[in-house]
Amino acid sequence: MVVLDLLGDDCVAFRRQLERVAEDAGLPGTLFRIAIEEVEAWYLGDREALALAYTRFRSKALVDHEQDSLGGTWERLAEAVYDGGARPLVRAGYAAIGLAKAEWARAIGPHMAMDRNASASFCKFRDGIRRLLATASTP
């Protein structure tokens, strides 16, 4: 299984291109799952996990957020969970943003529930894992 962020707007074409590359490389059956726009969208899909991970979670920052939309995903998460929002991270640069993203993964990930996530791309990831596990356990 390979998980990637979507860098464009055509998820199906991107996945097909990846599948062709895997096939050409002799890796048939590789399962690709794509986070729409970035993996932070998967965190935004589980508001309960956000609230459990961050006692100062600002749910109002997500009121008008459209799940799995393109543009500003990590910034929206920062507005909800990071002191000062996205602005201080942007000023600090890519290294600070990367450190914040790693912290979010450590803090939010353990609280995520597989079946309550509102992200369609997360649900495809979850269902893909379930299919792989079912196939692996079949004699």
* φ, ψ for residue 15, nearest 5 deg: -65, -40
- Whole-prediction pTM value? 0.86
Give the strand pairing for 32-35 and 2-5.
parallel
User: Which two structure tokens, joined as six digits, stand for 95?
Assistant: 């290294």
Question: Degrees (nearest 5) of the Cα angle 106, 71, 87?
Answer: 65
Residue numbers in the chain where pLDDT is lower than 70: 9, 137-139
Contact between residue 66 and residue 73 where contact means Cβ atoms under 8 Å apart: no
Number of domains in the chain: 1
For residue 33, the model assigns a pLDDT of: 87
Q: Domain of 8?
A: 2-137
Give the pLDDT score at 138. 64
